[in-house]
Amino acid sequence: MTQTNQEANIILWAKDGCHYCQEIKDFFQEKELAYQVIDVTQQDNFRDILFAKYGIRYVPVVEVAPAGSQTYQGITDLGLEHVINGLRQAEIGV
């Protein structure tokens, strides 16, 4: 299930053809977690945002906010284990 409004507690910055991005999407769907995708494919301005926020231009980046919070924390390390740890820290259904 992909949630497209701003109430998603999970935001995935991704691009077409990214194996790591697809792995995370598959995981979210398997766990039935609602998430919003920001597609950076051919969107250099979105990569500029990632650089301003985290000092990187690559994807995937997952941002999570605990329920009831509007404060998102970025997970920039590659690998599903980092995403799972970030979701657990935010107490989001994993």
1 lies in a domain?
Answer: no
- In the prediction, which pLDDT does 84 show? 95
- Which residue range forms the structural domain that includes residue 36? 10-89
Using pLDDT thresholds of 50, 70 and 90, give the confidence band for residue 2.
Answer: very low
Is 3 within the bounds of a domain?
no
Residues 9-59: tens digit of each pLDDT? 899 999 999 999 999 999 999 999 999 999 999 999 999 999 999 999 999
Report the number of distinct structural domains present in the chain: 1
Instruction: Select the more confidently predicted residue: 63 or 92.
Output: 63
CATH number of the domain within which 64 lies: 3.40.30.10
What number of other Cβ atoms are within 10 A of residue 21's Cβ? 22
Higher pLDDT, 59 or 92: 59
Let me know if residue 85 belongs to a domain.
yes
Whether the upstream peptide bond of residue 66 has omega within 30° of 0, thus cis, is: no
